[in-house]
Structure 1
């Protein structure tokens, strides 16, 4: 297949799989089973960032500029997340500060709409990153796409639950999540035609993609695992994180041999 065909397939199919997978998980699996997905997603994100994205970015870009982009990217994602928190929680009696957080009634769709806006932007960026990775190599694009799908399922699951708690029906939450996932397709399509004439930006975008994956794994996903500190849960989490890293490693080797 052509590079454009791969980009469209991974961005459209990946977004669709993430949303449908999250809906299926929300319907079938227990909360403890969701933790398994989160642990695996952490490993997949870190594996893709350190074993695939950064090596390719360093190989084709200036090392100092690449590592600097990673640092700036992590700080940027921190600031963006702070802005979202401030926008969502700008007074001391909001859900984040309230001891009764999570026990409120529906908010008439307010938090659900905010989630959809934020998720659409996130999906758009994911599409740009997928396109940049495929324009570097098909192998890197597939690994990046799989890592994004792996972490999108638990994230979409969280969004799905927020939409339901915000007053959306299950069917309406699924439809709006599917519409939001189309932003991945749009971002990938626009990035392909823009980056084709700006190839020198590809290493920086790969570094930014790595920063995004590292930040999501370390800042957003890992803290949730610390809620279960018992030995058995810890061993399970570490094993699944290692499995996520290993899956990216062997996928990279397999695709590299086939290339």
Structure 2
């Protein structure tokens, strides 16, 4: 068992450790007989730590930052209430924005918005999720101590990998279901595949229209071409329905991410909401365009997107249930750890690593290939590349500023 103390001075670290073990000895207790929260409580009662807490409170800003005030207004309740509010925030506005979108929007034109979302997702993962997973959230009222449990860190890393490869498996399954044409990747990489399918469908329509013109002439020539235009390639139509199923599933993971982050800390929950919101806007617009290409009317496409938003609320409810009833990971009456595999972790603690793994997949494997695609116009592609990198920097910068504040 090792300790990481918040001070840069080794002497203070050793003194705090000595004070802790002196307190434990006086109480006839052994560190192994206490839970992590009990050890933290013993540390906070040490005179040296109390003086550090007073120094921290005295040097902390007396007024809350603007972002803190905004988050306090948006998320005023308990972790469960805040998670439900966040789910409403990320599900409602992006879907209502679809009413302003033209039905013939091209998903490939959303590359700048997608790049911005990538920066937000990766920024949230690297600046908030991963530090929170392994080190915990800093408190403005007292100094924090981190107990290093090797097996605990291994399980947290395993949770990240499980989240990552869960999305790999889902993406692979959808690619197999669509005949290798590419599945839904929670971004808009499908736009290129669907565009080619649409082009093939258009070619088929043109040929069919030409045949009709050859067979029919005169007064019927004006009405004949309209019939093939209503026909949709079966593979494109299938892709639209599979996209709805995948969208519903991915929205469940968004709900899990929000619930786990709010139970970790209010700040982490708020920043995760911002990151998911940034990603949902291009995500919803791209899916809307795909549904229209699959034969949906604008009204039916908007209705289908609202239906898939139910998945986010379902995921949030599942996450709340796991957090509330998944165990606390504290020591039992015999002194043995009651957490997973002898660690202080509970099942609820594994949701945040799972979320980090899914965000890593979405922000890298699922989206980066689309940003790497180039066209024959080198000058245009260079301008697009610079703009995309700037969008990524802005998205990540917002996450960094919120975390710094």
CA distance in 1, matches of 2:246, 2:193: 21
Look up the match of 1:8. Answer: 84
CA distance in 2, matches of 1:81, 1:107: 22
Alignment of 1:210 with 2:367, yes or no, is: no
Structure 1 residue 134, shift from structure 2 partner: 0.4
Alignment of 1:102 with 2:253, yes or no, is: no
Does the 8 Å contact 1:52/1:140 carry over to 2? yes
Does the 8 Å contact 1:136/1:202 carry over to 2? no
Instruction: Identify which of 111, 128, 133 aligns with 1:52.
Output: 128
Alignment of 1:36 with 2:182, yes or no, is: no
Larger relative contact order, structure 1 or 2 (CA cutoff 8 Å, min sep 6):
1
- TM-score by length of structure 2 reads 0.57
Instruction: Identify which of 281, 285, 306 aligns with 1:178.
Output: 306
Correspondence 1:202-241 to 2 at 5 A? 202-228=348-374, 230-241=381-392
In structure 1, the gaps of 5 or more residues are: 255-259
Structure 1 residue 252, shift from structure 2 partner: 2.2
Structure 1 residue 190, shift from structure 2 partner: 3.0
- TM-score by length of structure 1 reads 0.86
Aligned residues: 251
Structure 1 residue 32, shift from structure 2 partner: 7.3
Structure 1 residue 25, shift from structure 2 partner: 4.9
Structure 1 residue 11, shift from structure 2 partner: 0.4
Q: Which moved more, 1:11-20 or 1:241-250?
A: 11-20
CA distance in 2, matches of 1:25, 1:42: 22
Q: Secondary structure at the residue paired with 1:219?
A: coil
Q: 1:14 to 1:28 in 2, by over 3 A?
A: farther
